[in-house]
Chains A and B, each alone.
Chain A
């Protein structure tokens, strides 16, 4: 997975990346995924949040607790939260 440091990426990039992940999970076109819809309404469950969390960590090089995804219920909110996070030292 491509490593992109979070301090180099904008909320927009994160939003588009998340939109693609959610679309892949639901097997639907990315364009049809509403960034302001609740992730649960998009079919994402709290268990898959654990997978998504690892994907985010390895792609953007940040340490993330999966509960962050529980606390930011839409793609837009989650992308904004992630954009402000420091890069990990791994």
Chain B
């Protein structure tokens, strides 16, 4: 049975009688809580079942459908999405990748029953350096004895169980760590203290805490995967969350853009509205561009999990690095548009400031941006050889209308894919021809990116082997950043190409959407010159043409006025119908 649309369950967030309003979210945020009624509603709706594969009794088949169903949460409150559910997803994917039948069914039943699972990986002293982790478990006659501390763990206090990344023996190496599923109701001697709570600037409603283990004993059968398999398991499993998380958090930028448009159209300044100012329209269009690029990349990453899982070790690292950065850049543009209203946290627009605080956490949390770039680096030489060799274009990677079957978690690897299905869009003759015939003004930008591809491949060939390990060189990091940019540009082109005849695509709705997305992604080409790489890349194209901004601004207005969301897939949402706003304005005038 198809679950109810959460847009309908939550209702219009600006209407006082809705289940989840901006007002309630802000009030809960001030109390450092999630909105209790919304949490209950999500449990009742079956949030946990979303994260359980259908073959284990849950609702998860297509990961893109999962994103679609949960987006209404993130459009309203990213902290609710993360704190109520997605942290459980982070734990669960490890179980789907490596758990045996018993633990898979155990975890599936827990999630479907409404339980939470904390993801106990992080130790503050070691950041994203998994091999530095110190929390340890030793095997004794009664089971595993855990000693140490895990920090900045969402829901560690209230979750019924947690997945722990622990050192289980030997010198720190990729085979020295294991995953243990700690059920709080099934432990032996010893103790665990989960009472500490971290105070955070963003995601305030999330209960982010720590656990200190004092010789806590858990059963010898609580392994998830083989002993020593934790690093390999996590590096595979987190590809799923690295893809899904940016696709979800884009929902908050979508809402923020809609809110900013509402503000700009209402706010009087210099004898007119803010919306009449070309600079204000440019800011909003630029934010929309960031959303289009971020969403094209994130959604393509989600589809790749199904279509080409051999490619997702690199592609999802690129998505988790670049999409949140674009998202935050978009939020920064919108905060400029709000001006002083951004600082006065008033009810009507105060939610913007909360979203901004929440989204700042996204690049840091769960595979930090730098860690994601570092994941790209060792694969660069192989990636460059295979990109140069070419491959076959797969339109389904960019088309939201395709059917995606259940994920094959066993197919997620740690290598470089056989090809790069995102970058291929830049090399594809049919796409180049379509740009030439349908968007001739954009040919110089396309050629700029094709030149960038050649330059990056050439730069990668010059890298020495010892620049690629843990002691990565600055120029290797820069090339990883540029490779991520190429994947984003490819995702934009492919999503445009496939979306032109899709009624739900902004690329079908307006010819200017491609210009906006390409102009925005091309801003990534402002390379810092790096020694040995010449000027670091081609020159950037001209600034944003005013007429493109004006037409794009009207396209955003039309989309919002039609009651549709603003990402790469324009579906109906519950938000104050702008027709009501127009009437209100007409009455006032």
Contacts and interface: CB of A to CB of B under 8 A. Distances in A.
A48 B174 contact: no
B379 A54 contact: yes
Interface string A57-69: 1100001111100
Interface string B458-472: 000000011011100
A54 B469 contact: no
Interface residues of A, number: 28
Given A46-B131, A47-B378, A53 B466 contact: no
A53 B415 CA distance: 7
A38 to B, nearest CB: 10
B416 interface: yes
A47 B175 CA distance: 13
B465 A66 contact: no
A27 interface: yes
Contacts of B465: 21, 24-25, 48, 51
Interface in B367-383: 374, 377-383
A71 B175 CA distance: 8
Nearest to A54: B382
A29 interface: no
Contact of A70 (B171, B173, B379, B415): B173
A85 interface: no
A61 to B, nearest CB: 12
A55 B382 contact: yes
Nearest to A23: B465
B413 interface: yes
B554 interface: no
B455 to A, nearest CB: 21
Contacts of A21: 465
Contacts of B414: 50, 53, 65-67
Nearest to A27: B466
B385 interface: yes
Interface string A37-55: 0001000111111110111
B169 to A, nearest CB: 14
A71 B465 CA distance: 21
Most interface-central of B232, B378, B466, B468 (chain A CB within 10 A) = B378
27 contacts: A25-B466, A25-B469, A27-B466, A40-B173, A44-B469, A46-B131, A46-B231, A47-B378, A47-B468, A48-B469, A50-B378, A50-B379, A51-B379, A51-B380, A51-B382, A51-B469, A53-B382, A53-B414, A54-B383, A55-B382, A57-B382, A57-B415, A58-B386, A64-B415, A65-B415, A70-B175, A90-B418
Given A40-B173, A45-B469, A55-B381, 12 more contacts: A46-B174, A48-B378, A48-B468, A50-B378, A51-B468, A54-B416, A55-B382, A58-B382, A65-B414, A65-B415, A70-B174, A70-B175
Interface of A: 1, 21, 24-27, 40, 44-51, 53-55, 57-58, 63-67, 70-71, 90
